[in-house]
Structure 1
Amino acid sequence: MSNAVLDIKDKPKTGHLITLSLQHMFAMFGSTILVPTLVGLSPAIALLTSGIATIIFLLVTRFQVPAYLGSSFAFISPIIVATTAGGIGSAMIGAMFVSLVYAIVSLIIWKSGYKWIMKIMPPIVVAPVIIVIGLGLAGTAVDMAMNITVDGVKEYSLIHFSAAIVTLATAIICTIFFRGIISLMPVLMGIIVGYIYSALVGIVDYTPIHEASFLAVPEFLIPGIDYEFKITSTLLLAMVPISIVTISEHIGHQLVLGKIVDRNFIKEPGLHRSLLGDGLGTFISSLVGGPPKTTYGENIGVLAITRVYSVYVIFGAAIAAILIAFLGDIMAFIETIPTAVLGGISIMLFGIIASSGLRMLVESQIDFDDKRNLVIASVILIIGIGGAAINFSETFSIQGMALAAIVGVVLNLVLPGRPKVEETEE
């Protein structure tokens, strides 16, 4: 048994429950609202659906896995591609099909076990694709940090770039020099300090706050009402292949979380249940206009620091997120965050994503003296970061990260010398 302050099924006192739940809510807050801001979705919907998705996940996993679901960074570029091609509705439909992939994979795992996944998506494929996710967004982060749009034209702004630098510096300081909960909230702390600096130098537009009401219904996007439910090859090819990365990310989180709380979540309640819960959360989110979901490393970090593993606390954080989503003043305040501040924090977040891919390569002891590994990683990186595309027609193409993921899987399957997957007790 782990040295838990509160184990998975332990229920804290009411006062502690509220405090601990808010701590988890703030840990995921910055990252969860950043994703919709970058892709043109409603931060309120993202917050609302993160709470709903987490409750769904807890129900599907029989309240045995203390994990929080937030907005997935892996889908930022695919959502932008799908939106550019067919409007924001295309991105939502694509996310629905991603959740269908989750459901199919969870069904297969339920019937046949999980070892086959590692044959298709070993670290030599997954890690370079994760690197592509981070580095592929580098241009977006830098552009947000130092440029502003004036009369439809982008212009360099030193004052805005200074706000980005202050934001980034704060996040770095909180990560390196602080301990406890502050070190787990560098995104939120960076945004807060960056916002204060932006207000002092006069680049914050307070108009949304003046126009907001105390209570407000989030901006839902309902298929058939707010957009036409139209399935195209572009949206499928932009979104669905990213499942390769997010499923691998999910498995990694379950293994790490299991080590922290001294459980084997792959066996009980089972990878098929946690993956299905993740997929259903994404489906419900996309059905009302929210971004795809994933289990959050930020909240796993909170569990590790506090040793409070109670699912009641996770459930409380989900309820808090749902309630805050309907507070118009708070969500309007979020809208006033300057783009430069979000750009500054994105520089670190996107870099961390890329670095986590490098970390996976190191921890998996990938041997780059092996030409097979060298070829697979090299091709994935250049195709993904370079933005390569296969255009079959004006509406049918595979590009960027999606193409890199597919090519990586194919190369791993067809090139000789593939290592055998070690037998693992199920």
Structure 2
Amino acid sequence: MKDNQKVVLGIKEKPSAGLFAILSLQHLFAMFGATILVPYLVGISPGVALISSGLGTLAFLLITKGQVPAYLGSSFAFIIPLQTAIAADGPGAAMMASLLAGLVYGVVALIIKATGHKWLVKILPPVVVGPVIIVIGLSLAGTAVGMAMNDANGAYSLQHFSVALVTLAIVIIATIFFKGFLNLIPVLIGIIGGYVYALAIGLVDFTAVKQAKFIEMPDFIIPFVSYTPHFSMDMIALIVPVAVVTLSEHIGHQMVLSKVVQKDLIKQPGLHRSIMGDGVATMIASLLGGPPNTTYGENIGVLAITRVFSVYVIGGAAVVAIFFGFSGTINALISSIPTPVMGGISILLFGIIASSGLRMLVDSKVDLSENRNLVISSVILVVGIGGAFIRVLGFEIHGMALAAIIGVLLNIVLPGGKVKEDEDIYETHLEDDDSVA
């Protein structure tokens, strides 16, 4: 992408009526596959995820004064913590812990407003964030393979595995050979292709689709309605520390987005506003029963390709996502996607997450021949992937969250750390920037 390319629509420009829907649908399709995969994996409603994604994006645009053209969708960093939390204590405690994770964003935003943002960059350098991103991807590897190979009873099935392999092949072909906008939606293309193959061999059940109403209330998980709110220290320790990871992701996205739109969004409207918007989006999601939100690299890629930076287009995509969330037919179609289709998608997507962590280390020129860097990255990888946890005073800090905290502490206490002052340490190539969406 060249910075001197002509801007088709500026940040504050409105598209013509004829283009509005097309451009907004383009953004929706870019985030659709990844956003519905997260609720699919953690066992909550895809419809609620779409609605909370749309509402969170609208809140983000409002808080950033319509100056940051970013779309927010389901965060991959929270998959394992949410799976563990929901299995252990039900969705209520998980949603309350997610609410606190959003509040962490708010606190950080207020501190940044008062003190500036360079301190945050210094405690979250690539030598910490890169290995944590690798942990996110590799921790999910077993989930992806199980979804790909096993039938509904958990037994190995060659038929199911063939669906996963066909889906994976389609995604790879779309990623490598497709150009332009089609190159930005390989996940959606793979889901459609895998779904058609699964339908052909008889693995798709349309019963729920036939019974669904076109407009239907999704399965919201609302405090005082669906459950009595309560805060579990175990769930808080499991979910809240993940904010350390997603904050670094947010910084990276804002830096890349600034280069795309040729405007320093870190300074104006300010990193504190975008972080606050991200946090409010996560809090909205938690109050509705959706997964925490994060800015999406896929949509930054759409901006770079189309040169359409209009926040009105982003807002239009958010409105359409909300509508889709209230469609029983669309939700039933999503739920009818066979597990091995999502398994095939996950094999590549989770691998890309891990590879993007490696890419961050390489692009940032982290020297692993230095003992300090080697120690930090090694400890993070083994603690995170090994599933280590600390149980103190009745609550636990698990895996990835524990690894991130230990990495931050090691980076602070070990001598010899150097951080670039030019704020480009999180910059990655756009085609890889969907790594931790």
TM-score of the superposed pair, with normalisation by structure 2: 0.94
Deviation at 1:13, TM superposition (A): 0.5
Structure 2 residue aligned with 1:129: 132
Matches of 1:177 and 1:420, distance apart in 2: 37
Structure 2 residue aligned with 1:409: 408
Structure 2 residue aligned with 1:273: 273
Matches of 2:392 and 2:408, distance apart in 1: 21
Q: Residue 342 of structure 1 aligns to a residue in which SS?
A: helix
CA deviation map 1:305-330 (0-9, x unaligned): 11111111101101111111111111
Q: Indicate whether 1:296 and 2:299 are aligned.
A: no
Aligned length: 421
Structure 1 residue aligned with 2:433: none
Q: Indicate whether 1:213 and 2:213 are aligned.
A: yes
Aligned partners of 2:29 and 2:185 also within 8 Å = yes
Structure 1 residue aligned with 2:316: 316
Greater Cα shift, 164-173 or 228-237: 228-237
- 1:394-405 alignment runs, 5 A limit: 395-405=394-404
Structure 2 residue aligned with 1:119: 122
Aligned partners of 1:24 and 1:317 also within 8 Å = yes
Deviation at 1:218, TM superposition (A): 1.3
- Structure 1 residue runs of 5 or longer lacking an equivalent are none
Give the letter aligned to residue 73 of structure 1.
F
Aligned partners of 2:125 and 2:419 also within 8 Å = no
- 1:1-400 alignment runs, 5 A limit: 3-150=6-153, 154-392=154-392, 395-400=394-399
Give the letter aligned to residue 202 of structure 1.
G
Aligned partners of 1:85 and 1:234 also within 8 Å = no
Matches of 1:33 and 1:301, distance apart in 2: 19
Q: Residue 155 of structure 2 aligns to a residue in which SS?
A: strand
Quick one: percent identity of the two aligned structures? 60
- Runs (4 or more) in structure 1 with deviation over 3 Å come to none
TM-score of the superposed pair, with normalisation by structure 1: 0.97
CA deviation map 1:226-253 (0-9, x unaligned): 1221111111111111111100000000
Q: Residue 390 of structure 1 aligns to a residue in which SS?
A: strand
Matches of 1:109 and 1:76, distance apart in 2: 28
- The 1:397/1:179 distance shift into structure 2, 3 A limit, reads same
Deviation at 1:396, TM superposition (A): 1.4
Aligned partners of 1:11 and 1:312 also within 8 Å = yes
CA deviation map 1:35-64 (0-9, x unaligned): 001001100000011110000000000000
CA deviation map 1:334-354 (0-9, x unaligned): 110000001110111111111
Matches of 2:352 and 2:227, distance apart in 1: 35
Deviation at 1:282, TM superposition (A): 0.6
CA deviation map 1:253-286 (0-9, x unaligned): 0000000110100000000000000000110111
Q: Residue 416 of structure 2 aligns to a residue in which SS?
A: coil
Matches of 1:203 and 1:420, distance apart in 2: 52
Aligned partners of 1:118 and 1:421 also within 8 Å = no
Aligned partners of 2:222 and 2:287 also within 8 Å = yes
Structure 1 residue aligned with 2:434: none
Q: Residue 151 of structure 2 aligns to a residue in which SS?
A: strand
Deviation at 1:7, TM superposition (A): 1.1
Structure 2 residue aligned with 1:419: 418
Q: Residue 5 of structure 1 aligns to a residue in which SS?
A: coil
- The 1:423/1:341 distance shift into structure 2, 3 A limit, reads closer
Matches of 2:194 and 2:423, distance apart in 1: 47
Aligned partners of 2:221 and 2:227 also within 8 Å = yes
Deviation at 1:391, TM superposition (A): 2.5
Deviation at 1:424, TM superposition (A): 6.3
Deviation at 1:421, TM superposition (A): 5.0
Deviation at 1:363, TM superposition (A): 1.0
Give the letter aligned to residue 142 of structure 1.
V
Aligned partners of 1:115 and 1:421 also within 8 Å = no
Aligned partners of 1:383 and 1:403 also within 8 Å = yes
Matches of 2:177 and 2:422, distance apart in 1: 41
Give the letter aligned to residue 166 of structure 2.
V
Matches of 2:98 and 2:301, distance apart in 1: 27
- Structure 2 residue runs of 5 or longer lacking an equivalent are 425-437
Matches of 1:345 and 1:418, distance apart in 2: 38
Q: Residue 148 of structure 1 aligns to a residue in which SS?
A: coil
Give the letter aligned to residue 414 of structure 2.
L
Matches of 1:421 and 1:182, distance apart in 2: 36
Matches of 1:424 and 1:247, distance apart in 2: 15
Deviation at 1:213, TM superposition (A): 1.1
CA deviation map 1:144-183 (0-9, x unaligned): 0001233xxx200000000001111111100100101111
Matches of 2:51 and 2:62, distance apart in 1: 17
Aligned partners of 1:387 and 1:399 also within 8 Å = yes
Greater Cα shift, 224-233 or 158-167: 224-233
Give the letter aligned to residue 274 of structure 1.
S
Matches of 2:100 and 2:188, distance apart in 1: 31
Give the letter aligned to residue 336 of structure 2.
T
Matches of 1:420 and 1:22, distance apart in 2: 40
